[in-house]
Amino acid sequence: MGKTATGRAEEDVEAAWAAAPQQEAWVAWLVPAFALANTIAFAYTMYVNDCPSSHRLLLGPPYSYYYSSPSSSSSSSTCVFPSLLGRFAFEPFSVNPLLGPSLRTLDKLGALNYAEVVEGGQGWRLIACIWLHAGVVHLLANMLSLLFIGVRLEQEFGFVKIGMLYLLSGFGGSLMSCLSIRTKISVGASGALFGLLGAMLSELIMNWTIYANKFAALLTLIVVIAINLAVGIVPHVDSSAHIGGFISGFLLGFVLLIRPQFGWINRKHIPPGYNIELVKPKHKTYQHILWLVAIILLITGFLIGLIKLFRGVSKQH
């Protein structure tokens, strides 16, 4: 028996889908630029810190956040590599074991500090803090993770989506950190990095039907996320920023990283004269539902967090 018109139309549409040009990988430039910006920011932080000429110990809150308060005998400690690095020399290990500046310098340049954000009206710290790092060890750990995770995501989804994902996740991590920690300061891009991990998980869920080895990919991703979240248990690590960034990125992944379902083709590649109803819709119903729920939860969460954070100002005056 010969094929029906519908059968021939379906075959033609499938042939058109196969012949349609596939999207080329984006050139990743924004994520490396972010890594470079963080590195430059750290170099500037060390320049401002100028350990050899302004070395002093900082005691008491909020400067006891990252490191145990040093004993009075530590006041005789010297900067690390002063002859080699000059004014870029690191603070003594008793002050900063991560090879970096003093906490006072970090606070001066925009570290997340509840008192300054809420009482001082310096909301810009919610974003500024994600560009600062406590030391070389801190910087290297975060930037290597950023390049490892972020470059692949930018190649797949482009610089606009990944840039928004990085910044909004960092903001979400800062917001939760500021709500949770009120007597200590915090710096680092960890919230933004955990946002990228959260987005990878939601992207897998959102685009479930197009993946081949679904459960293997899901299991691998869950293990990676669990290991990274476990780092939050270590003392002096801001786990609230990790959690806030992860949740923000998880919701943003549903909003920004949605893909067309398998077999969908753009209408301009459909052969003329065939029934348009035979073409698959761009997205499945469950993708639309997840997108809507995620954007509602994201906006609501940010609004509630900001209201809760700055509502305390009126109560205090």
The secondary structure of the chain in percent helix, strand, coil, rounded to multiples of 5, reads 65, 0, 30
Task: Give kind and range of the element (H or E) at residue 49.
Answer: helix 30-49
| Catalytically active residues, by annotation | 190, 242
- The total number of residues written for the chain in this structure: 317
Tokens 């482009």 -> residue: 158
Geometric angle at alpha carbon 74, from 73 and 79, rounded to 5°: 150
What does each C-alpha distance from 228 to 9, 17, 125, 296 come to in angstroms? 50, 40, 25, 27
User: Rounded to an integer, what distance in angstroms lies between the CA atom of residue 188 and that of residue 112?
Assistant: 9
Tokens 């040009």 -> residue: 21
Cα torsion 179, 222, 138, 73: sign? positive
Strand partners for 185: 113
